[in-house]
Structure 1
Amino acid sequence: MAKFLNTSATNYYLEELIKNSSERLILISPFLKLNDRIKELLEDKNRLKIDVRIVYGKSELQPEEINWLKELSFIRTSFCKNLHAKCYINEESCIITSLNLYEFSQVNNNEMGIAVSRTEDPDIYKDAYDEAQRIIRISDEVRISLEKITPTDEVNDTSSEGESKLTSSKLARKLGCKTSELLENFTQAGYLSFVDDKHSLTEAGKNIGGEFKFSKKFGPYFIWPEDLTLC
């Protein structure tokens, strides 16, 4: 029988779902910025050669995520345009929830969800699994380069006027803060809006030189003037 999950229960059941997977694991989340605990659990699945699929779709893949994923040969990552679903499935259970695989959401947001058992809720589990497979099929698999990205290797993005600008992650690193902190501060300052788990550039953000970009490889992201100091 399906179980209702609040915020803390969702986080607990998610960790248990990852930990107990022995054959396959599917993680579908628009935003992808994993905390250390989730990374530790996924690294263990990689050591056990469990087939893991991660699908994301709303924000740029951060350099730390890229470097981490490069080391994990049994974890495949896909980008799905217009993704809003959050669903986590192993061979025995499924969580359908409002919770993103994003550090900020897991700590700060009020979430709801349900946990479904393949044994007790076979029809619901099958429908969720089939839909997850469909999302995987329409997603573009992200090919993670074997070459590590380092600060000296990265090239700044270029604005529409040819001006050199930094992505959110690079600007955050330059200012000595986390990308999530920078995005939160930009939202509070009115440069970004945050609606339905999605950041959007506001007119104020455009006025200070922010731009929206889209990469077929990593999805949507923002670039900013190098001299911004809000963090």
Structure 2
Amino acid sequence: MARFLNTSATNYFLEELIKNAKERLVLISPFLKLNDRIKELLIDKDRLKIDVRIVYGKSELQPEEIRWLNELAYVRTSFRKNLHAKCYMNEELCIISSLNLYEFSQVNNNEMGVLIERGSDAELYKDAYEEAQRIIRISEEVRISLERVNNDAEKDEDGSEEEKTTKLTSSKLGQRYKLKAAEFLDKMVELGYLELNSGKHQLTKKGVDVGGELKVSPKFGAYFLWPEDITL
């Protein structure tokens, strides 16, 4: 039977829902802003190879946070405009609540929610799950939208155009070698094209020399581009 949740209960069961996910985790929230606790939980799910889907309508992440998020191999993020639903679920529990993901653990706010247990409310859980899957299907997956980038032709000082080159993101190029995005970045560190500084990837001189670029998208934050003919 569905259970009513007040503010503190919503925060408690949301954390338990994330921690206890064994097969899948779906987080649907209009606003995406990750505090340290959420980051810890997502890192743990990624380490355990749990399939995590995050759907949001507006991101307040900083570029370095988006880069960090994109490097989690089992966490996929999707954007959906006009998103107002707030739904969090694993394979056994579902919370439908007024709580935005960025408000997690902010107990000053007054929130209400409903906890649905698959074991005792199978039909209700199924309805919520199917609607969550529909929202995921109609959302734009962030990594897909960044997979391929064609550089615009640039002009030299004499006005002549340089030859157009095609570059791919780390995620797309990694697919060619059957590597997850995080594994591909580890390989680039091993080859000396990237280095880790305080846990963040940075281009090295060697990486720049082979054509690597750091780009910042207003919508998606920072990411790396590489020549599509680069060899590992």
TM-score by length of 1: 0.62
Matched, 1:75 2:111: no
**Corresponding letter in the other structure for 1:57:** G
**Corresponding letter in the other structure for 1:4:** F
For the aligned residues, what is the CA RMSD? 2.5
Match of 1:86 in 2: 86
- Taking a change above 3 Å as real, the CA distance of residues 86 and 4 of structure 1, as seen in their structure-2 partners, is same
- Taking a change above 3 Å as real, the CA distance of residues 92 and 105 of structure 1, as seen in their structure-2 partners, is closer
User: Which is worse superposed, 65-74 or 50-59?
Assistant: 65-74
Mapped partners of 1:156, 1:23: distance in 2: 32
Mapped partners of 2:102, 2:31: distance in 1: 6
**Corresponding letter in the other structure for 2:15:** E
Mapped partners of 2:140, 2:121: distance in 1: 30
Shift of 1:15: 0.5
Q: Aligned residues, how many?
A: 158
Match of 2:122 in 1: 122
Alignment of 1:158-177 (within 5 A): none
The structure with the larger Rg is 2
Alignment of 1:1-231 (within 5 A): 1-103=1-103, 106-143=106-143, 146=170, 215=219
Mapped partners of 2:24, 2:106: distance in 1: 23
Mapped partners of 2:105, 2:12: distance in 1: 14
Contact 1:33 1:65 (8 Å CA) reproduced: no
Mapped partners of 2:217, 2:122: distance in 1: 49
Secondary structure of the corresponding residue to residue 106 of structure 2: helix
Shift of 1:104: 7.6
- Taking a change above 3 Å as real, the CA distance of residues 76 and 149 of structure 1, as seen in their structure-2 partners, is same
Match of 2:192 in 1: none
Mapped partners of 1:75, 1:155: distance in 2: 20
User: Which is worse superposed, 140-149 or 115-124?
Assistant: 140-149
Stretches of structure 2 that go unaligned for 5 or more consecutive residues are: 147-168, 171-184, 186-199, 203-213, 222-232
Secondary structure of the corresponding residue to residue 55 of structure 2: strand
Mapped partners of 1:149, 1:60: distance in 2: 21
Secondary structure of the corresponding residue to residue 65 of structure 2: helix
TM-score by length of 2: 0.62
Stretches of structure 1 that go unaligned for 5 or more consecutive residues are: 158-214, 219-231
- Taking a change above 3 Å as real, the CA distance of residues 86 and 43 of structure 1, as seen in their structure-2 partners, is same
Identity rate of aligned residues, in percent?
Answer: 75
Secondary structure of the corresponding residue to residue 58 of structure 1: strand
Mapped partners of 2:92, 2:216: distance in 1: 44
Contact 2:57 2:79 (8 Å CA) reproduced: yes
